Amino acid sequence: MIFVVIAHDGMDAGALQRRAAARPKHMERVEPRARSGELLAGVALLDRPDGNMVGSMMVLDLPDEAAVKKWLAEDPYTQGGVWKSVTIHPGRIAQLPYKPLTGSPLSG
């Protein structure tokens, strides 16, 4: 089952510092999950072009919403108090000839 997760960071003065502190462990955690196909896409949400990260968007392929909640609970951004508002949406990927994502090993 496909789920789209939108997670917004806190807006307080320490938000960017919390994200920066948790980011190395978050990236270490998500890389193998992307390789396994569990994480289909991850996007940092910005406050403006070339701006600061203020949230995340993920497309996850997990069995059910309970698995998504468990996945999120184990993430360093959740554990480090980075994400303050999270929404989970079940979804379906349209079968279209998508271009490989920028930055993916398939993008060349």
At 104 the pLDDT is: 59
Predicted confidence band at 36 (pLDDT cuts at 50, 70, 90)? Answer: very high
Name the amino acid, one letter, at 11: M
Cα 58 from Cα 88, distance rounded (Å): 10
Please state the separation of Cα 13 from the chain's center in Å: 22
Q: Please say whether the beta carbons of 61 and 81 come within 8 A.
A: no
Question: How much is the average pLDDT of 2-17?
Answer: 97
pLDDT value of position 105: 57
pLDDT at 90 over 80: yes
